[in-house]
Amino acid sequence: MKKSLKIISMFFVAGMVMASCEGPMGPAGADGAKGDKGDKGDPGTPGTTLACAECHNNDDELVAFSAQWSESQHATGGNAAYANRTGCVQCHTHQGFLEYVAEGSAADISVPVNPMQINCYTCHKIHQTYTAADLALTKPGQQTLDVKYNGADVIWNKGNSNQCVACHQERVVSPAPVYDGPDFAITSARIGPHHAPMANLVLGKHPFELPGTAHPTANPHSTASGCLTCHMSTPYGYQAGGHNMGVWYDSHGTETMLMTGCTTCHTNSTTLATLLTALRADVEGKLADLEAQLIAADIYNPATGLAKTGTYKANVTLAYLNYNTVKEDRSKGIHNPGYIKVLLDNSIAEMVEAGFPVPGK
């Protein structure tokens, strides 16, 4: 008897027993023959659930990206612990960022007990559907930056780098000095846009511009992929580019800048090196001049790298905020060469105007 037939007949017998309730059940029949093996299972179609192998496979991506990330500042910076507090968790911890994305605001974010550094799950929707769709970014789409420019919203819309600027942007300075306005009281030595003003500078929309030379509105380094052009370009091993996102690596004892993102435009590496040396010297020179002026004005404490609390002329405070911004940006001009030079030049001129010439010049 075929197995299926036997099952049907057993149901039939059971039905009769229940319907009539007559007499005892007969002895169990003999076991049927073994069924056939059945069709081979579906190995998992891309786009369906349990397609683990779309990511967990023998490609180099998961292994290489994980290795690059694990040597990055995102993994090793350690500030998820230090900045595990209200006002900081949304950018510094994995949990805080995802809560910020879910709630659409940083107003009411809890402080995690086990703060995690930024990782795969912070930027990608890993293990939400267990399909390749989980590689989607957690904060896609254009971003409205926190800080306005001339009273208007500033939009960043540069492909997958939209993910970066949710964190790498200026914080609001409030209250802020007004140009030619009343004297300004600095009550916190940490006044400033914080450590990551990159997005605002790439766009050339930083709030404390001073009059003087016109600020260039075009930036040759503001591309359609934004930050990724230079920071996620072809990597150097695990040390720079790709998912490390840093631009410096050690090559047999020499600190070397990753140029794989630059050479798509700067095809002559000798010319590029010359331009780079000149720009760095120029920006570092201007920063040093402005710093000396700010020390003379007694608004900046070089020992702590922070402002001095006290009351200052509004324009001197603005010049300090510009100094702080360019210093924290750390690109030495690269994020927006022309703009950053003008920002510094006009701040230096404003300090001269306020009675603080560059010492020795």
Binding span for ligand HEC by CB under 6 A among 3-11, 155-163, 342-350, 353-361: 155-163
User: Tokens at residue 361, please?
Assistant: 């010049």
Give whichever of 119 and 357 is closer to ligand HEC, judged by the CB atom.
119
User: Tokens at residue 306, please?
Assistant: 């922070």
Q: Minimum CB separation from ligand HEC for residue 321, in Å?
A: 16
154 touching ligand HEC, by CB under 6 A: no
Rg value, the chain, Cα: 31
Give whichever of 6 and 280 is closer to ligand HEC, judged by the CB atom.
280
Q: CA 324, 80, 199, 230 torsion: positive or negative?
A: positive
238 touching ligand HEC, by CB under 6 A: no
C-alpha span between 309 and 297 (Å, rounded):
12
C-alpha span between 323 and 192 (Å, rounded):
10
Q: How many residues bind ligand HEC (CB under 6 A)?
A: 90
Nearest to 207 by CA among 216, 197, 222, 217: 197
C-alpha span between 178 and 315 (Å, rounded):
8
Give whichever of 272 and 296 is closer to ligand HEC, judged by the CB atom.
272
Give whichever of 32 and 220 is closer to ligand HEC, judged by the CB atom.
220
Give whichever of 177 and 246 is closer to ligand HEC, judged by the CB atom.
246
C-alpha span between 235 and 250 (Å, rounded):
13
User: Tokens at residue 79, please?
Assistant: 């500030």
Contact with ligand HEC (CB under 6 A): which of 119, 256, 301, 309? 119
Binding span for ligand HEC by CB under 6 A among 19-27, 32-40, 45-53, 294-302: 45-53
Contact with ligand HEC (CB under 6 A): which of 4, 11, 48, 82? 82
Q: Minimum CB separation from ligand HEC for residue 12, in Å?
A: 42
User: Tokens at residue 257, please?
Assistant: 């800048």
C-alpha span between 336 and 334 (Å, rounded):
5
C-alpha span between 113 and 222 (Å, rounded):
39
**158-187 residues near ligand HEC, rule: CB under 6 A:** 160-161, 163-169, 171
**241-270 residues near ligand HEC, rule: CB under 6 A:** 243, 245-248, 257, 259, 261-262, 264-266
324 touching ligand HEC, by CB under 6 A: no
